[in-house]
Chain A
Amino acid sequence: GQNIDQPTEMTATEGAIVQINCTYQTSGFNGLFWYQQHAGEAPTFLSYNVLDGLEEKGRFSSFLSRSKGYSYLLLKELQMKDSASYLCALSTGDYKLSFGAGTTVTVRA
């Protein structure tokens, strides 16, 4: 099985940077995903890491260290519309996705 841990809530100011950490334990690894979910809406794909290192996509970056069972999602130049839940998800040996409970980010003006 797998265990995925991420903080429940984070608050940051508009224009700032926020880093959401995700730690995991798994017996099989085929990649780590980050999804964004606005309140009352469906999750949408943000990023995918399968190799160690940083993947940058505009204001969002995601980092992976497989040896440490650790990933983070970095959100830069925060905007009000970034207020949402961010879900860390693990693709395991059978390629199915297991999700963490999500981190709710609130951006204040």
Chain B
Amino acid sequence: IAGITQAPTSQILAAGRRMTLRCTQDMRHNAMYWYRQDLGLGLRLIHYSNTAGTTGKGEVPDGYSVSRANTDDFPLTLASAVPSQTSVYFCASSDSPGGANVLTFGAGSRLTVL
């Protein structure tokens, strides 16, 4: 089934540890995104990539980094996790970064930083 796969589904992490959330899509979409979702705040954009080899900062990029070595994969790394990064993280993709930019979302990764 075509779509987006995120891993892990859920993770509990000690503060200060490094963590990479994985995201893979098989739709050959050009654009990919990472959002975090917190109660009362909605989805906030962390980083994005309009095409393989390029990345950009979203609304809340501090403490996170991304890479886009190929079309399919867009990992999100927390270099040194802090409790405020406890959240549900959604990876998304779209066929084109412009126009009717319909996003397809992965199932999410729930991260708890203690």
Contact = CB atoms under 8 A, between A and B. Distances in A.
Interface in A55-109: 87, 89, 91, 95-102
Nearest to A85: B42
Contacts of B33: 96-97
Contacts of A30: 98-99, 101
A97 B101 contact: yes
Contacts of A44: 105
**Chain B: interface size category:** 20 to 34
Interface residues of A, number: 22
Given A42-B106, A43-B90, A95 B101 contact: yes
A44 B105 CA distance: 7
Contacts of A95: 97-99, 101
A101 B45 contact: no
Given A41-B107, A42-B90, A42-B107, A100 B102 contact: no
Contact of B102 (A45, A96, A98): A45
19 contacts: A30-B98, A30-B101, A33-B102, A41-B107, A41-B108, A42-B90, A42-B108, A43-B43, A45-B102, A45-B103, A91-B101, A95-B97, A95-B101, A96-B58, A97-B33, A97-B45, A99-B43, A99-B44, A101-B41
